[in-house]
Each structure stands twice: as structure tokens, then as C-alpha cells.
Amino acid sequence: MIDKTKITERFISYVKIDTESNPNNPDFPSSEKQWKLAKKLEKELNAIGLTDVELDENCYLMATLPSNIDYKVPTIGFVAHIDTSPDFTGANVNPKIVENYNGNDIILNKDENIVLSPNDFEDLLQYKGQTLITTDGTTLLGADDKAGVTEIVSAIEFLINNPEIKHGTIRICFTPDEEVGKGAHLFDVDKFGAEWAYTMDGSQIGELEYENFNAASARITIKGKIVHPGYAKGKMINSMLIAKDYIASLPANETPEKTQDYEGFFHLHDMSGNVEQTVLEYIIRDHDFDLFEKRKYLMQKIAFYMNEELGKDLVHVEIKNQYFNMKEKVLPVKHIVDIAEEVMLDLGIKPIIKPIRGGTDGSQLSFKGLPCPNIFAGGHNFHGRYEYVPVESIIKATEVIVGIAKKVAEKYK
């Protein structure tokens, strides 16, 4: 049995460490604060008896649980990231524990009238009677992905303490900077040495994913010209108004809040400007690669026609690919997904096999030669003040890791 009190305390000890990554810093890690959790984990992994514990110069922490069987089975891995999203503060996290949740509103912060309600988040109702860990309404929680970190450490410790459970060699890695799209950039797949791995970075209990968006970022820079507004006729060029026209030229119904499942989108997530210059920051997403390419082309095409109409080269589009759909790399080894599905069914968990409307380290790792489906970590409402995770989901995810280790040993006997 997984110790509920211990796993809760472990998770809370991790989320109280601020590990917010920085999208504007090219260094690894992108924030010095990530080292604090990485070094804590390094000590913890050594203490529970793992071998080859190594924290490298880029804040990647790897370790090995040696095989306890006398025949050869594939080396498998489990991966989670230690950073939290820069979208919302992860400093001074003060988790609240809600025992035996009754299905009613949860007051996160009375002074600021911040309430976590099933009227807004219906998923809460599936966890009636369980223990929830929430925020205090002023920060994110960090279950993305410190729940995943908790599950991997707890599962490996459980296997060490229960040697009657037979398993092959297991490698684990905790990565920095996943939230800013760099988590797998310097991941040494050869050194990791696993045939395949699983990221513990999904959301609700049962999620099992091996498809994700193709992803790119787009920066649209629009130049203008400032003159005194009283003498501006025929002279002023207001970059903000050109930006408005650019935004309006994209399909209005292809935004995150209006799409679902396999539908792609254009997401304007930041804009800043004045008359002289406006910058629009977009992300582009689509599961279908051809549609993904068409989206990128459309953004360039709009700029081309706007510049022709303006008679000046004022709209500039810079697009950078971020990651691609791991499905292409996982399908040839689909049995690694099937193993995880079997384990979930064995544990009485209903598998939810669906595409990720986002990305994980696993998408990049799959293209680097390490097929890497994604398994639930248990949290909900990531990256904001309404984030929560049921302790029972953390325990179940831990049991899935243990079950996969055991299942692989059985299948290759």
C-alpha cells in the first residue's frame, strides 16, 4: 500500500519550492530557483538507494533502479519536469488540504472571495469523498508537474522497499524548463539508456496520451510612424490599427476557447505596442501536419497581402517550430501504450486515450529516439489559482508506475 500521509507530505514539500521557469532567459535552467528542488531530489534519490544519481550542469537529474531479476528485459524510463509555468506565480505556494470533499464550493481565499466551485469546474464532482489539495487562491499549485515528480519518487521507493515485486532496470529523469518549451532540448537520450519511457505529466486520472499538437510560435512585428496628431493626415501610420486588421484576418473561430479534440488554433497570447511599433505573439497548433503547415503559411500570406495593400513593408512574421506530433514515433511501438492501458485496467482505472491539446517533454523525446507516451499525473486546472489535485489520483498514478515496471518484467520473461 502507498502511504497516503507520506505521499501528501512529499508533494507539499515539492510545491512549496518556487521553480518557475523564465521564457526570456536562454540559459539552462532558465531560472536559478529550479536548482533548489533539483538538489533536494538528488539527495532524496541517493537516500532511498538509487544508483547512478547524477545532476548535470544543465539541471537534468537522472538515476537508476537496477533490475532485481536474472533475465534481460527492456530498460524503461519515467520522466517528469520540475519547473512550473511562468503564466502565473509559483512563489509562496500555500497548499490547502480538503479532506472528504463534499461536492460543494471550496473557499480558497475568503478575503479576496476566490472560490473553487463545481459550477465552474464540473470535474470536481468526480472526486467527492476524496482528499483534495488546492491553492490558497493567490498562486498556482504546481501539480504540473510536481505531482509527476512525487509519483515517480514514491513508486521507485515502493519498489525498493518491496523487492518481491520483480522488475527490470528502470531509469528516471527530472527535467528543467518544460514549461518554456525547452525541457527536452539538452536531454541526453543515449546516456538515459532506456528503450522507451513515459512522462507522468497528464491531467485527470486515466489519461493516456500518445498524440499531441504540432506546435510553432509566431511573432508579428508591425512598424508604424509617429507624428504630431494635429498634423498627422497622410503622414502618421498607426501600427496598432494595422495589428487590429491582422488579428481580424485570422479565422475568428479557430482560437483555443472555440476549439476542442483534434481541432487546431491560432492563439494570441501577448501583445504590446504603440503607434511606432506593435508586436503580436502567437502560438500555432494542429494535430494534422498538413493543416499545421497551412496555418503557418496563412500567417505569412496575410502579412504579404497587407504589405501589398499598404504599399510598404511594415508587417514582418517570424515563425519558429517548437515540437511535433509524437504519434508518428509511437505508433510503430504501440505496445508501450498497450502496456500502460493494461495496467490501468488491472488497477480499476478507466483509460482515457485522447490527443493532448498541448505538448510534453515526451513529444520532443520521441523525435530524439525515445518513444514516450504521457500518463496522467492527476491534477486539474493547471497554471492558475484554481489548480487542484486529488491525493487519491497521485496514489493511483504511483501504482501505475509500479504496475508498468512489474508488467514489463512479466511480458519479457
Q: Which amino acid is at 286?
A: D
Look at residue 98 and give its three-state secondary structure. Answer: strand
Catalytic residue, chosen from 18, 144, 145, 178, is: 178
Please report the DSSP string for 91-137 in residue order: TT---EEESS--SS-EEEETTTTEEE-TTT-GGGGGGTTS-EEE--S
DSSP string, 152-193: HHHHHHHHHH-TTS----EEEEEES-GGGT-TTTT--HHHH-
Amino acid in the structure at residue 130: Q
| CA-based nearest residue to 284, from 364, 361, 218 | 218
Nearest-angstrom CA–CA distance, 236 and 54: 59
* Cβ pair 304, 339 in contact under 8 A: no
Cα Rg, the chain, nearest whole Å: 23
315 phi and psi angles, rounded to 5 deg: -110, 120
| Distance of alpha carbon 211 from alpha carbon 178, whole angstroms | 17
CA distance 150 to 26: 27
* 233, 286 Cβ separation under 8 angstroms: no
Residue 123 bears catalytic tag: no
Q: How many CA atoms lie within 13 A of 257 on its CB side?
A: 3
**Taking a C-beta distance cutoff of 8 angstroms, is the pair 374, 341 a contact?**
no
**Rounded CA separation 324/287 (Å):** 8
Catalytic residue among 18, 20, 42, 83: 83
* Residue 148 and residue 40 in contact, taking contact as beta carbons nearer than 8 Å: no
Q: Which three cell numbers stand for residue 23?
A: 521564457
Contact criterion met (CB below 8 Å) for 70 and 128: no
Residue 290 annotated among the catalytic residues of the structure: no
Active-site positions read 83, 178
